[in-house]
Amino acid sequence: MSHSSIQQDIFKTLEHRMGKDILRRRLNIQAKNAASFYQGKGLSQFHPENVEWIPKLLKIILTGCGMLNRGYRNSMDYRVEYVETRFDVLPKAFDGLRILQIADPHFDGIPDGGKKLSSILSSLEFDLCVLTGDYRFLTFHEYTQPIKILSNIIRLLECEHGIFGILGNHDFVEMAPMMEQLGIRMLLNENFSLVKSGKTIHIAGVDDPHYHGCHDLRKALTGLPREDFTLLLSHSPEIIKQAEAAGADYYLCGHTHAGQICLPGGVPIITNAHCSRKYTKGSWSFGSMHGHTSRGTGSSGISVRFFCPPEITIHSLRSNN
């Protein structure tokens, strides 16, 4: 089979899963200059991650201040955050479920190629793994290198209930089949049910709402009973209100990097999200829904962090039943 035929088959499969309109929308945006200021069609119309001169200017400033190497080291100063959240609707069979969340790894931008990250991941215990988007460093270059790094890390993510992922604003939709070949169940406005001891919970995932605007909550939650526990994966926290109204119980996201370069005390200069700042890092609640926005496992634009260490999260779900 020719390469073009393989590509056609991939896009036919994606069209069946995502819907023709959503896939066409995403591919149209990808085909245009992804590095422009206002190319995206998502909830935020200004995308600083696509402005090429910003990281270049930051690098010049940090080099002049003698802070660049410290920023590099900070970008690999991983903190494992343990988050416990209680739910009335979580079945007792899933009490204590441990979920590893890796958000915004930007694999090809990690200064040591992922060696320290791999060392930490190898020491963790978890039952389920979720990847909440942004696997490559920039938004417009090739994506084989981050997939290659991920392929070296994937064996460390094996767990009882499997690995699930969604796409972020740095990712092209063509990456989804490549990731699924590694054993990751990608959720493209889709859901998956886990059954244990006769009880069921659901994992739903939406496509990037921030830049591509291809999220479809209705499709992602299709067929899920409102009374069942639903974990929703979204790249950014920008659709919290809609998610709570749709019946999601726990909302996991990232995208903001909690600012990445912050003022002392972790005060972000830029959060790059069209929502209240109280939802751009850490754990929060909105109505009946709980959620957590990771500070991000990697870095974007420039591989530095200040007053905002990278995060690897272990979520422990507890049942009130």
- Edge-first strand order for the sheet with 229-233 is 190-196, 199-205, 229-233, 250-253, 289-293, 282-286
Max CA-CA distance within the chain? Answer: 61
51-107 pLDDT per residue, tens: 666 777 777 788 888 889 999 999 999 999 999 999 999 999 999 999 999 999 999
CB-CB contact of 124 with 118 (8 Å): no
Closest CA to 46 of 281, 268, 293, 271: 271
**Looking at residues 160-171, what average pLDDT do you find?**
96
Q: How many domains does the chain have?
A: 1
> Does a structural domain hold residue 1?
no
Angle formed at CA 265 by CA 259 and CA 271, multiple of 5 degrees: 15
Q: What pLDDT does 38 receive?
A: 43
Q: What pLDDT does 71 receive?
A: 94
Confidence of residue 37 (pLDDT cuts 50, 70, 90): very low
**Three-class HEC string of 205-273:** ECCCCCCCCCCCHHHHCCCCCCCCEEEEECCCHHHHHHHHHHCCCEEEECCCHHHCEEECCCEECCCCC
User: In terms of DSSP bridges, do strands 250-253 and 289-293 run parallel, antiparallel, or are they unpaired?
Assistant: parallel
Closest CA to 235 of 261, 249, 214: 214
Tokens encoding 9: 């088959």
CB-CB contact of 318 with 84 (8 Å): yes
> Does a structural domain hold residue 188?
yes
- Report the CATH number that the domain containing residue 219 is assigned in CATH: 3.60.21.10
Tokens encoding 310: 């990278």
For residues 305, 309, 311 and 315, what is the CA-based torsion angle, rounded to 10 degrees?
-150
**Looking at residues 177-196, what average pLDDT do you find?**
97
Ramachandran assignment for 191, one of left (phi > 0), alpha (psi -120 to 50 degrees), beta (any other): beta
> Does a structural domain hold residue 256?
yes
For 71, residues 6+ apart whose C-beta sits below 8 A from its C-beta are 62, 261, 302, 303, 304, 305, 306
Three-class SS state of 320 = coil
User: Residue 306: how many CB atoms within 10 A of its CB?
Assistant: 19
> Does a structural domain hold residue 30?
yes
Residue-number span of the structural domain to which 236 is assigned: 8-319
How confident is the prediction for the chain on average, in pLDDT? 91
> Does a structural domain hold residue 295?
yes
φ/ψ (deg, to 5) at 311: -125, 135
The model carries a pTM of 0.91
229-255 pLDDT per residue, tens: 999 999 999 999 999 999 999 999 999
> Does a structural domain hold residue 3?
no
206-229 pLDDT per residue, tens: 999 998 999 999 999 999 999 999
